[in-house]
Structure 1
Amino acid sequence: MKLGYHVGYWSSGPTPGALEAITEADRLGFDSVWSAEAYGSDAFTPLAWWGSATERVKLGTNIVQMSARTPTATAMSALTMDHLSGGRFVLGLGASGPQVVEGWYGQPYPKPLARTREYVEIVRRVLAREAPVTFDGQFYQLPHPGGAKLGKPLKSTVHPLRADLPIYLAAEGPKNVALAAEICDGWLPLFFSPKSDAFYRAALEEGFAREGARRGFADFEVPASAPVIVHDDVEEAAALIKPSLALYIGGMGAKDANFHHDVFVRMGYEDVAGKVQELYLSGRKQEAAAAIPTALVEDISLIGPPSKIREELAEWDKTVVTTLLVRGDAAALRKIADVLS
């Protein structure tokens, strides 16, 4: 299994020590470095700025929110990044959730799978550069049919470095995972657990079996974000992760539309997820974190002494995951690389 480094999105400002960690990941032989965006920092700019100091690692977005940009704008950024990095860029896309899509970007959220299908198709047409781009979809039309009625089909002035630049899709539900397998080159899971491997494997197989599917298990990438904390005390390590989990399980999205919450329900933690959500939405965030059992943390992470992590890594090696995306500063990356190598 390959290793990748996930910088994540910023909180109140730039991630401290990010440049040092990214260059250390490059030096240590990590396969990839990933950025993210929510409703603060964007995904492309930090990746370009810090990634310019690297020489070998792939540079990926995990994820670019599709509602933030038109498909052609995303394609422009992707082909630009690919040229500047010498063919090391990976475009990771995601639909995000209704609160961000409608509240921050002012775009409609319904039918995210159908929107995704159209979005990816337009990006691929731009990158292929075979003809001026036209599209007559339910959600996207090129040229725009209204306005000044002066729009005409255009073709990128820049010739893409790679017409087949890889596109990965972030997905949590089975239908979206199957869509990733059908139309993309990789799937970006969140809160993956080896215990859920059969569930996701079946969703991927459904997508691979569809007519026109691009790939199969042999050439499909699955970089999974997973907390890895090398620590003698498992409970103390778990305590470092629980507040973030409480936010995702309890506070992301709306009460009845939280896809992260649903992941843990499918994992068998319905009662826990319900309690965490109730506590978090009532403002009792510390209690919400405390309500998360360490066993749940261990299901989606690798924490504890080196021997325990190495033993549990064997279970991850049996799954569909091809790359483990870890976080931390440069020192943490060195420790993780030593344990997982």
Structure 2
Amino acid sequence: MQIGLVVMDENPADALRVVRAADRAGVHSLWSIDYYNRSSLTRAAAFAAVSENALVGTSVTPLFARSPLALASAAADVQAVAGGRFVLGVGSSTRRMNQDWYGAALQHPAPQVRDRIALIRRLLAHRSGPFRYDGEFDRVALGHYERTALPDSVPILAAGVGEHMVRVAGECADGFVGHTIASVDYLRDVAEPLLAEGAARGRRDVAELRRTTQIVAAASSDSRAARRDAAAQVGFYATPKGYDALFPGGRFAEERAAARDAVARRDVAGVVAAGEAMVEERAVFGTPEDVAAQLRRYEGVVDWALLYPPHYGVDPERVHANELSLIEVASSWT
């Protein structure tokens, strides 16, 4: 298992300082996020430009926030900057985000993801001459298309939570990205069989899929503060009803409802209290040594563990300090 770091700083200048330090320390991979105030692809290009050895990836880029052509062109550009070190992580995002944030309709998420990934691959591979794609959901027609100097492929990882999306990841992507609060039991007992079903449907070898997951990770000499930060993030991410699949059998239903109510009231302490019940199962936290020990439970379940610094209710200075501590964990991992 290799250990990567999701770089969370809101200020991109701060993020690049973390990237440089992590690359010098030998961290396996460095990942950008996409949010209403951050562009995963812009940041990935910057990460690639200031690093030399680490893989650079997006975890994750919303598939429907950009047109297929714009997304494929950006991915090819980042791959060229990275010299082949770039991995495109994509996800559908929620219906609400697609409709309210991006103005994109999302009626059949899993088939739409499959169609969009196929189109991006074809756009990347096309070298010259007219291009046309008529899929179930996407259509692109170009009378003239030249991209002979840019890379013709990018590894694509697909995120998923529900059964249909996880199957699609196994069917058409190069790998899978587990949700930030996916437990080891979910990844092993729920996601892995679904990936195998998807791979069989696509006539692929499931063993060739790269299995990754984000993991809420808080490392500090102050173990109580690290636990509090991790619990805040776990509580916050447990609130969407669309993530019910991460909690089979209604697990933590009361805590999730309490966290949902606390988020609505902007009651951070309430979110922390709700997250406390889930944090030991859904995060790693404590001293750097504690975090490293807790990461062992993911061995044999994922190939890449992506450490995700908590940011909900956490001061930016503490987010930054945590990233530096997580660099220590990732760079010393054996």
The answer to whether the superposition gives a TM-score over 0.5 is yes
TM superposition shift of 1:265: 5.2
> Given the alignment, which residue of 192, 209, 217 partners 1:201?
192
Contact persistence 1:228–1:336 (CA under 8 A): no
Q: Distance in 1 between matches of 2:161 and 2:146?
A: 33
Q: Distance in 2 between matches of 1:82 and 1:113?
A: 26
Which amino acid in the other structure matches residue 306 of structure 2?
A: L
**2:304 alignment partner in structure 1:** 323
Q: Distance in 1 between matches of 2:331 and 2:149?
A: 41
TM superposition shift of 1:239: 0.6
Instruction: Specify every segment of 5 or more residues in structure 2 that has no aligned partner in the other structure, as ranges.
Output: 310-318
**1:133 alignment partner in structure 2:** 131
Q: Secondary structure at the match of 2:201?
A: coil
Q: CA, structure 1 residues 231+41, in 2 after alignment: closer, same or farther (shift >3 Å)?
A: closer
Q: Distance in 2 between matches of 1:52 and 1:22?
A: 10
Q: Distance in 2 between matches of 1:285 and 1:120?
A: 37
RMSD value, Cα: 2.4
TM superposition shift of 1:249: 2.3
> Given the alignment, which residue of 242, 255, 258 partners 2:231?
242
Query: Within 5 Å, which residues of 2 pair with 1:291-330?
Result: 291-294=274-277, 296-305=278-287, 308-319=290-301, 321-326=302-307, 327=309, 329=320
Which amino acid in the other structure matches residue 323 of structure 1?
A: W
Query: Within 5 Å, which residues of 2 pair with 1:1-341?
Result: 1-8=1-8, 10=10, 14=11, 17-129=14-126, 132-143=130-141, 152-161=142-151, 163-190=152-179, 191-196=181-186, 197-213=188-204, 215-217=205-207, 219-231=208-220, 234-250=223-239, 258-260=241-243, 262-264=245-247, 268-294=251-277, 296-305=278-287, 308-319=290-301, 321-326=302-307, 327=309, 329=320, 331-337=324-330, 340-341=333-334
TM superposition shift of 1:75: 0.7
Contact persistence 2:28–2:330 (CA under 8 A): no
Q: Secondary structure at the match of 1:67?
A: coil
Which amino acid in the other structure matches residue 198 of structure 1?
A: D
**TM-score relative to the length of structure 2:** 0.86
**TM-score relative to the length of structure 1:** 0.84
Q: Distance in 2 between matches of 1:267 and 1:24?
A: 42
**1:147 alignment partner in structure 2:** none
TM superposition shift of 1:240: 0.9
Aligned-residue sequence identity (percent) comes to 24
Contact persistence 2:174–2:209 (CA under 8 A): yes
TM superposition shift of 1:308: 4.5
Which amino acid in the other structure matches residue 317 of structure 1?
A: E
TM superposition shift of 1:198: 1.2
Q: Distance in 1 between matches of 2:76 and 2:163?
A: 30
TM superposition shift of 1:33: 0.9
Q: What is the total number of aligned residue pairs between the two structures? A: 319
Structure 1 range deviating more: 37-46 or 128-137: 128-137
- Structure having the higher helix fraction is 2
Which amino acid in the other structure matches residue 264 of structure 2?
A: L
